């Protein structure tokens, strides 16, 4: 999950709903525009939530690579491979 994309979507959603409520007192076309922004926000948030599998398939926890031998955590797969080679001789 890309949290910043989800947050961006939620902000758009809130802005759209807020805009729809605000423009509720003026011509209808602006309300539709604000609702459109809210729908875009929902789509962006959903896309952000669905990007989970594409970011790092081999990571067990959020953006982290854990050594299966000793449980040490690394920020990248290359660092983990280097550690595995150096510490465990694999």
Q: Binding residues for Zn ion, per CB under 5 A?
A: 67, 69-70, 72, 87
Least distance (Å) from Zn ion to the CB of residue 61? Answer: 15
Give the nearer residue to Zn ion in terms of CB position, either 34 or 84: 84
3-state secondary structure of 72: coil
Least distance (Å) from Zn ion to the CB of residue 72? Answer: 5
Give the nearer residue to Zn ion in terms of CB position, either 53 or 58: 58
64 pairs with which residues across the strands?
61
Contact 5, 41 (CB under 8 A): no
CB closest to Zn ion, residue no = 67
3-state secondary structure of 52: helix
Give the nearer residue to Zn ion in terms of CB position, either 55 or 82: 82
Q: How far apart are CA 13 and CA 19, in angstroms?
A: 10
């Amino acid at each position: 999950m890309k949290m910043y994309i989800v947050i961006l979507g939620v902000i758009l959603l809130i802005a759209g709903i807020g805009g729809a409520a605000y423009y509720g007192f003026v011509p209808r076309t602006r309300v539709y525009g604000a609702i459109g922004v809210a729908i875009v926000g929902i789509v962006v948030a959903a896309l952000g939530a669905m990007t989970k599998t594409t970011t790092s398939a081999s990571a067990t926890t959020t953006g982290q690579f854990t050594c299966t031998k000793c449980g040490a955590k690394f920020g990248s797969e290359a660092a983990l491979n280097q550690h595995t080679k150096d510490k465990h001789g694999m």
